[in-house]
């Protein structure tokens, strides 16, 4: 059973009575000012009706990992109950907490595995307040009817700027000079310190971040080459190369911007470091699994690699704190931190005020749109379906949200159930094994709603149902 279903029908009916289909009742619902801030996908001159067939105060949102204040404000304006925690939670605590929440907001550390999601009886949607979604079992979530949203590019610029800073810092050994001076050592050297002008930057993964980095790097006089599994239009004078080896053989700096996938695990390991130019530099701000760290340590000890910057690690601490980054987390930590010209940062590539604020707004808005209207556009694991917002002229109209197994004959069954009413609009799409039907049906009396719900609930293909009005 999904969240806002039969158990919530009492609330549903109560709320319907409260609203009474009348615009005057809007003051009991979330503020219109918030709704006005939502980027509307379809404009209408009529006042949009706010669809919320549940008591908003019963809507529970759990926000972990210090999700930005902008998100809390948006959810508060909706009238939802928001619980906010600064860190992520260990599995057992997460399982307890997730049991009764309707939406959860996380960043990169919270692992929403099948085991955890199995306990999420009321969960309607998940917000990843970041780019990466590898921390969520996306297929399992979809099969449970849980839509997952992320922020695909709000922190791309922040990551690209960090990498630019690191390219110059590595070329000038800035980290080491700074540490030395902090401890009283004056070490004025130019040996193996370089300008970046005229050097070659090799970018692995030319997506949102890689291509931003390309533009910034060219502005500083670097030549840019890139390797990607798909053919992508080059920006500026950058050039795509056809093999990873070609990139590694020709780059003074190699920067990784690929997602975590089975194919990118240990993408850079001993053979790839061997293929790099002598004295080259490596930067990884993608995911910790992409670089085989013991091989990097060996290549740096052998002076094959002259410096590296790492922002992401195979295992990362759940929260900030002294002593959190140690051998019990990743067994090679002591070995790694002893290396010269190595910049280590605690997964802060996307951690700027600008990025976090934009992500907070973007993801909380997507979740609110999905909760309130059923609009799944932008979901990363779900069919993307949307219908024009209903307006107050459309009395007695109910929006049916029916998530179901993608098997033949379902639409016929559903349309039979809805056939006593006028189906004003209908939109259905599928994504793998899961399909999502959204329909606005008119001429529905309050007394019909429970019956429609119960009939849909008895269909074999049903994953979850919500009725909004």
Ligand X SMILES: O=C(O)CC[C@@H](O)C(=O)O
Ligand Y SMILES: NC(=O)c1ccc[n+]([C@@H]2O[C@H](COP(=O)([O-])OP(=O)(O)OC[C@H]3O[C@@H](n4cnc5c(N)ncnc54)[C@H](O)[C@@H]3O)[C@@H](O)[C@H]2O)c1
Which partner from the list ligand X, ligand Y, none does 157 bind, CB cut-off 5 to 8 Å by kind? Answer: none
Q: Which of 259, 294, 314, 317 binds ligand Y (CB under 6 A)?
A: 259
CB-based contact 147:167 (threshold 8 Å) = no
# binding residues, ligand Y (CB under 6 A):
32
Q: Which is closer to ligand X, CB of 166 or CB of 176?
A: 166
- Give Cα separations from 308 to 101, 115, 247, 257, 258 (angstroms): 42, 36, 17, 15, 17
Nearer to ligand X by Cβ, of 345 and 457: the residue is: 345
Shortest approach of ligand Y to residue 143 CB, angstroms?
Answer: 23
| Choices 9-17, 76-84, 204-212, 411-419 (CB under 6 A): range interacting with ligand Y | 204-212
Q: Give least dist CB 153 to ligand X, A.
A: 9
Query: Does 353 interact with ligand Y (rule: CB under 6 A)?
Result: no
Minimum distance from residue 213 beta carbon to ligand X (Å): 15
Contacts with ligand X in 143-162 (CB under 6 A)? 155
Residues in contact with ligand X, shown as a per-residue x/- string from 70 to 109 under the rule CB under 6 A:
-------------------------------------xx-
Q: Tell me how far apart the alpha carbons of residues 325 and 315 are, in angstroms, rounded to a whole number.
A: 9
Minimum distance from residue 211 beta carbon to ligand Y (Å): 8
Decide whether 282 or 400 has the Cβ nearer to ligand X: 282
Is residue 263 annotated as part of the catalytic site, yes or no?
A: no
107: contact with ligand Y by CB under 6 A: no
Rounded-to-integer distance, Cα 117 and Cα 201, Å? 41
- Residue 229 binds which entry of ligand Y, ligand X, none, CB below 5-8 Å type-dependent: ligand Y
- Which lies closer to ligand X via its Cβ, residue 57 or residue 346? 346
**Considering 218, 246, 316, 384, which one is annotated as catalytic?**
316
- Rule CB under 6 A: say whether 204 interacts with ligand Y: yes
Q: What are the backbone angles phi and psi of residue 295, rounded to the nearest 5°?
A: -70, -35
CB-count burial class (<10 Å; 0-12, 13-18, 19+) for 392: middle
The active-site residue out of 347, 404, 421, 431 is 347
Applying CB under 6 A, does 224 fall inside the site for ligand Y? no
85 φ/ψ angles, rounded to the nearest 5 degrees? -125, 145
Question: Which range touches ligand X (CB under 6 A), out of 124-132, 263-271, 294-302, 365-373?
Answer: 124-132
Q: What size, in residues, is the chain? A: 469
Q: Which does 210 bind (CB under 5 to 8 A by kind): ligand Y, ligand X, none?
A: ligand Y
Annotated active-site residue 347? The verdict is yes
Question: 102 touches which of ligand X, ligand Y, none (CB within 5 to 8 A by kind)?
Answer: none
Annotated active-site residue 287? The verdict is yes
Which range of residues in 24-32, 285-293, 320-328, 410-418 is near ligand Y by CB under 6 A? Answer: 285-293
Give residue 91's Cα distance to chain centre: 20
206 binds, among ligand Y, ligand X, none (CB under 5 to 8 A by kind): ligand Y
Q: How far is the CB of 214 from ligand Y (least distance, A)?
A: 11
Indicate whether 132 belongs to the interface with ligand X (CB under 6 A): yes
Among ligand X, ligand Y, none, what does residue 107 contact (CB within 5–8 Å per kind)?
ligand X
Least distance (Å) from ligand X to the CB of residue 442? 42
Catalytic residue among 107, 287, 404, 431: 287
The binder of 177, among ligand X, ligand Y, none, by C-beta within 5 to 8 A per type, is: none
Q: Give the residues lining the site for ligand X (CB under 6 A).
A: 107-108, 130-132, 155, 347, 350
Q: Annotated catalytic sites, by residue?
A: 287, 316, 347
Which positions lie near ligand Y, rule CB under 6 A? 131-132, 153, 155-156, 159, 204-210, 227-230, 257-261, 263-264, 285-287, 311-312, 347, 349-350
């Amino acid at each position: 059973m999904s969240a806002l279903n039969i158990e919530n029908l009492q609330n549903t009916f109560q709320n319907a009575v409260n609203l009474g289909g009348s615009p005057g009742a809007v003051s009991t619902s979330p503020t219109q000012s918030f709704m006005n801030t939502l980027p509307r996908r379809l404009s209408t001159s009529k006042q949009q009706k706010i669809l919320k067939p549940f008591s908003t105060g019963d809507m529970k949102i759990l926000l972990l990992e210090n999700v930005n204040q902008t998100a809390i404000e948006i959810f508060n304006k909706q009238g939802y109950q928001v619980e906010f925690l600064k860190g992520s939670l260990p599995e057992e605590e997460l399982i307890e907490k997730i049991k009764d929440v309707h939406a959860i907001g996380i960043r990169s550390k919270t692992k929403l595995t099948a085991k955890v999601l199995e306990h999420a009886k009321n969960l309607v949607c998940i917000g990843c307040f970041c780019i990466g979604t590898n921390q969520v079992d996306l297929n399992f979530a979809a099969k449970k009817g849980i839509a997952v949203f992320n922020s695909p590019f709000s922190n791309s610029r922040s990551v690209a700027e960090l990498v630019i800073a690191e390219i110059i810092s590595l070329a000038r050994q800035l980290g080491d000079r700074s540490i030395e001076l902090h401890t009283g050592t004056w070490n004025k050297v130019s040996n193996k310190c370089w300008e970046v002008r005229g050097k070659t930057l090799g970018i692995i993964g030319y997506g949102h971040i890689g291509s931003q980095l390309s533009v910034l790097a060219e502005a500083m006089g670097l030549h840019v080459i890139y390797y990607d599994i798909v053919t992508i239009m080059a920006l500026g004078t950058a050039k795509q190369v056809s093999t990873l080896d070609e990139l590694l053989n020709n780059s003074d700096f190699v920067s990784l911007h690929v997602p975590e996938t089975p194919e990118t695990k240990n993408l850079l390991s001993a053979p790839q470091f061997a293929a790099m130019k002598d004295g080259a530099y490596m930067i990884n701000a993608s995911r910790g699994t992409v670089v085989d760290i013991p091989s990097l340590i060996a290549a740096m000890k052998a002076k094959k690699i002259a410096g590296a910057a790492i922002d992401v690690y195979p295992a990362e601490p759940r929260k900030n704190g002294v002593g959190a980054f140690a051998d019990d987390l990743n067994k090679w930590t002591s070995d790694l931190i002893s290396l010269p010209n190595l910049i280590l940062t605690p997964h802060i590539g996307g951690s700027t005020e600008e990025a976090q604020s934009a992500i907070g707004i973007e993801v909380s808005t997507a979740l609110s749109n999905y909760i309130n209207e059923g609009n799944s556009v932008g979901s990363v694991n779900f069919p993307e379906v949307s219908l024009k917002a209903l307006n107050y002229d459309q009395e007695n109209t109910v929006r049916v949200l029916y998530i179901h197994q993608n098997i033949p004959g379902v639409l016929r069954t559903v349309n039979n159930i809805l056939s006593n009413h006028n189906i004003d609009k209908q939109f259905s799409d599928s994504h793998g094994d899961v399909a999502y039907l959204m329909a606005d049906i008119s001429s529905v009396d309050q007394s019909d709603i429970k019956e429609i719900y119960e009939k849909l609930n008895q269909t074999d293909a049903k994953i979850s149902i919500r009725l909004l009005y």
